[in-house]
Amino acid sequence: MKTFKRSVLTATLLAAMVLVQGCALLLLGGVAAGAAYGTVKYVKNTLTVTHDVSLDKAWAAANATLKDLQMPVTASTKDGASGKLEARNAQNQPVVIQVIRKTDRVTEIQITVGTFESAANKIESQQIHDKMKARL
């Protein structure tokens, strides 16, 4: 009888572990998927964020933002998969905004200010993104 009880207890514990582990994986997967959109990364002097917005809308927001900030566009290229704007800020540093289509409704935005990473460039990248985000 002890063997039967032990077998039932072991089976119950294994089943509980599988259920709990499955729930944890679902929970973690949901958190990771939710965090993907709108999360700002700043790596190697480039701010990167993904938004639930079309490429065309992100492109329009980038152009309007540079115009509002009085940063003259020096180069502009766009196709069905991506777009790139190059401009100059008040300190005559290069400003590059790239929009990359991930899906019809998801676009990655990359903003680079200056050539080297600095606190001032990071702040300006964030300010550009904030103005763009208001237009998305």
Query: 32 and 50: one domain?
Result: no
Distance in angstroms (rounded) separating the CA atoms of residues 129 and 111: 7
31 pLDDT exceeds 70?
A: no
Query: 51 and 23: one domain?
Result: no
Model confidence over 93-111: pLDDT tens digits?
A: 999 999 999 999 999 999 9
Query: 19 and 74: one domain?
Result: no
Query: 25 and 57: one domain?
Result: no
What is the residue whose two structure tokens read 């400003």? Answer: 95
Residue 33's pLDDT is 40
Query: 29 and 43: one domain?
Result: no
Query: 27 and 42: one domain?
Result: no
- pTM for this structure? 0.73
Q: CA Rg, the chain, in Å?
A: 23
Model confidence over 41-75: pLDDT tens digits?
A: 999 999 999 999 999 999 999 999 999 999 999 99
As for how many domains the chain has, the answer is: 2
Give 69's strand partners.
none
| Structural domain for 7, as ranges | 1-36
Query: 42 and 78: one domain?
Result: yes
Query: 77 and 52: one domain?
Result: yes
Query: 56 and 92: one domain?
Result: yes
Query: 8 and 64: one domain?
Result: no
Residue 93 backbone zone (phi > 0: left; psi -120 to 50: alpha; other: beta):
beta
